[in-house]
Structure 1
Amino acid sequence: MPHGPAEVGVGPWEGPWPTGEQYDPELLAAGDRRNVVDRYRYWSLEAIVADLDTRRHGFHVAIENWQHDFNIGTIVRTANAFLAAEVHIVGNRRWNRRGAMVTDRYQHVRHHASVPELADHLHALPAPVRLLGIDNLPGSAHLETMAVPHDVCFLFGQEGPGLSEQARAVCDGTFSIAQFGSTRSINASSAAAIAMHAWVRAHADLGADPVWRG
């Protein structure tokens, strides 16, 4: 059974080169093997980020980073796919980038030393952003039935312990994801993807161009 092309992307541009500041001469000459959608083939990194910035969504994502969690990179990659406004890393500045698959180059990533610092930053934005943590805590709202705010930051704790006590104290609220099996929790990056997709279903313009569907 075939499994797609042997190489990712496209080779050198054939024929007269296109005009426009968005095009990268090196990519036009050598080919573009990056994992980007066809719209951005041969565009420079700066041009892609500038275009994304014109249409980023109203949600943010934050991850506590106390244990160098391998899920952080995967969450950043998913945040890029759903076009988050920003990703916030709380705690240790260094994080495991392997799972991001270089998508952190296209996604705004901001560091905060503590969750209170993150909360202060979000609340001080021109359009204040609510900080909602995800954890299976008593009193947590149910993601499946809650009204997902437009201006929101989803905060995720470490794999295993979940949200820190400091995070629980400063969050504007918490929510949980419905589960029906025997395990108490699901993978942090999976939970993040579910939360981001819930925002997309509630607020994104799904009829807009571009919406990448493959």
Structure 2
Amino acid sequence: MSADGTVGVGPWPGGRQAWPDLDVDGVRRYDPELLEHGDRRNVVDRYRYWTVEAVVADLDTRRHPFHVAIENWTHDLNIGSVVRTANAFAAAEVHIVGRRRWNRRGAMVTDRYQHVRHHPDVAHLADWAAAAGVPVLGVDNLPGSVPLEGYPVPRECVLLFGQESVGLSDEARAACQDVLHIRQFGSTRSINAGAAAAIAMHTWITHHA
């Protein structure tokens, strides 16, 4: 944010005659509309004026090999924030389990840059994970769950989250290799699903990134 409160950057300095080459190595990198009018998107400086396709292609060269999955049976509002956090930590993919439609408002447009895959049910997700050779780890404070802190989170995995208030469904629990919980010390029974997802993803980052 600049000193006057505006987000991003204005038109490319020097005008059209000073624009960089739009194509780099035969690929369209810069967006003429952004160069001319400015780039007010919520992106890091590295990607200023880049096309969405160029940003996605660059991210694809360095995404991390963990996946995030969240159940969506009642149009959970947390899904958008989970997608935004997954983008921040360069997750390989976000998997939406259940309803295809989800509230994108919390994603703050990051779903344009983050790969999102849909599964109609948990069985479909489990089949995908088995075929990919990726273990599914649930995150929920259930009886018998083990602390996330100190757990040897594998480099390649799916972190699976349930919906706000109800947590992981019975089918989701059965599909998990292990269920992990985030240790809490206050009076609340649980923390927000979006916050739990952020903590779990950052735990993966501290192990592997």
TM-score by length of 1: 0.91
Distance 2:92 2:9 in 1: 29
Residue of structure 1 equivalent to 2:193:
188
Equivalent residue runs for 1:49-198 within 5 Å: 49-125=56-132, 128-198=133-203
- Deviation track 1:54-76 (CA, whole Å, cap 9, x = no partner) reads 00001100010011111000010
Residue of structure 2 equivalent to 1:17:
19
Question: 1:172 Cα deviation (Å)?
Answer: 1.4
| CA distance 1:152–1:45, change in 2 (3 Å) | same
Percent identical: 69
Mapped pair 1:48 → 2:68? no
Distance 2:193 2:156 in 1: 21
| CA distance 1:4–1:113, change in 2 (3 Å) | farther
Distance 1:153 1:4 in 2: 41
- Deviation track 1:125-183 (CA, whole Å, cap 9, x = no partner) reads 2xx11101111122212111111111111111010010001111111111000001111
Structure 1 stretches of at least 4 aligned residues deviating more than 2 Å after TM superposition: 2-5
Distance 1:129 1:92 in 2: 23
Question: 1:3 Cα deviation (Å)?
Answer: 9.0
- Deviation track 1:33-54 (CA, whole Å, cap 9, x = no partner) reads 1110000000000000000000
SS of the aligned residue for 1:6 comes to: coil
Residue of structure 2 equivalent to 1:211:
none
Distance 2:57 2:193 in 1: 29
SS of the aligned residue for 1:52 comes to: helix
The answer for unaligned runs of 5 or more in structure 1 is 205-214
Residue of structure 2 equivalent to 1:212:
none
| C-alpha RMSD of the superposition | 1.3
Amino acid at match of 2:140: D
